[in-house]
Amino acid sequence: MIAGILLAGGRGERVNSKVPKQFMKLGDKYLFEYPLESFRMSNIFEHIVLVVPKDWIDFVKVRTPSDIHVIVGGDTRSESVRNALDFLEKFKPDFVVIHDASRPFLKLSLLRRIVKSVLEKGAVTAALSCADTMVEFENFVYVDRERYVRIQTPQAFRFDIIKKAHEKRKNWRDDTQPVVECGFSVEFVKGDPFCFKVTYEEDIELARVIAYRWHMIFEEDASLSKNLLQR
Ligand code: CTP
Ligand code: MG
């Protein structure tokens, strides 16, 4: 059984808006509803957990289908993940896919690539190569961009691996970090530029442009990637 965790428990401080970015309107939907729809449309998950800040629970519950488990997040991303893992324990999932709700444009092809890979490898993340010249800016050192990848979400793990990795209760940047610290290897799966993280104010503008055409982009991708994961 595969479970999905959608993280919307942050405050979105870098966007500088009154409401957390995941609850901003993008076209006709709230930002968090985009990846939630991708999760639901994929038919991959037996359980979907949506993690939100305590004071947004009511707002989210009235807008969310009743089969989605809406739970309260923690002070950090890692805590929010742990809350979701603890919640899921009773359902005994075999695998879990974790995704930032602040990455609204999640194609089914990417989800399918991630799931296909985790079934075999046990720990995977979406990642993109670096196209721009990379410089360590303090000393203007030009680094070899071929040696770096940019890690995105979704990330997916065998449930026992991610539970064990989170035992230390530290605060990590993402969920591959504790898994690697625990000695497991993490497989890279080709990410997607559409799956960027809305982080700063200007990202909202870009997201609004994509939102306008998202329905078509999503549908076309879904039909092209139909055969990627035969279930
Ligand atoms: N997140 C979470 N719980 C937290 C912090 C973050 O569930 N306590 C989620 C965010 O909602 C987001 C994802 O983790 O979907 C990635 O975090 P980020 O993009 O950094 O979002 P925020 O922490 O909300 O933004 P900022 O760092 O600018 O405050
Ligand atoms: Mg943050």
231 residues of the chain, pLDDT tens digit each: 999 999 999 998 999 988 999 999 999 999 999 999 999 999 999 999 999 999 999 999 999 999 999 999 999 999 999 999 999 999 999 999 999 999 999 999 999 999 999 999 999 999 999 999 999 999 999 999 999 999 999 999 999 999 999 998 899 999 999 999 999 999 999 999 999 999 999 999 999 999 999 999 999 999 999 888 765
Ligand 1 within 6 A of 11 CB?
yes
Q: What is the model's pTM?
A: 0.97
Identity at 11, one-letter amino acid code? R
Ligand 1 within 6 A of 178 CB?
no
User: How many whole angstroms separate alpha carbon 49 and alpha carbon 125?
Assistant: 19
**Residue to substitute in 102, 106, 125 for testing ligand 1 pocket (most ligand atoms within 8 angstroms of CB):** 102
**Given this model, what pLDDT does residue 228 score?**
82
**Given this model, what pLDDT does residue 169 score?**
81
Ligand 1 within 6 A of 51 CB?
yes
**Given this model, what pLDDT does residue 229 score?**
75
Beta pairing class for 47-52 and 2-7: parallel
* Helical spans, DSSP H, in the chain: 33-42, 57-61, 77-88, 108-121, 159-165, 176-181, 201-224
Ligand that comes closest to the CA of residue 171: 1
Ligand 1 within 6 A of 27 CB?
no
**Residue to substitute in 54, 72, 77 for testing ligand 1 pocket (most ligand atoms within 8 angstroms of CB):** 77
227 alpha carbon – ligand 1 mean position (Å) = 33
Q: Long-range CB contacts (< 8 A, 24+ apart) of 92-95?
A: 92/1, 92/159, 93/1, 93/2, 93/3, 93/46, 93/47, 93/159, 94/1, 94/2, 94/158, 94/159, 95/1, 95/2, 95/3, 95/119, 95/156, 95/157, 95/158, 95/159
Ligand 1 within 6 A of 12 CB?
yes
User: How many whole angstroms separate alpha carbon 42 and alpha carbon 110?
Assistant: 11
**Given this model, what pLDDT does residue 230 score?**
64
CB 149 within 8 A of CB 129: yes
**Given this model, what pLDDT does residue 47 score?**
98
Query: Residue of the nearest CA to atom 7 in ligand 1?
Result: 9
The DSSP symbol for 167 reads G
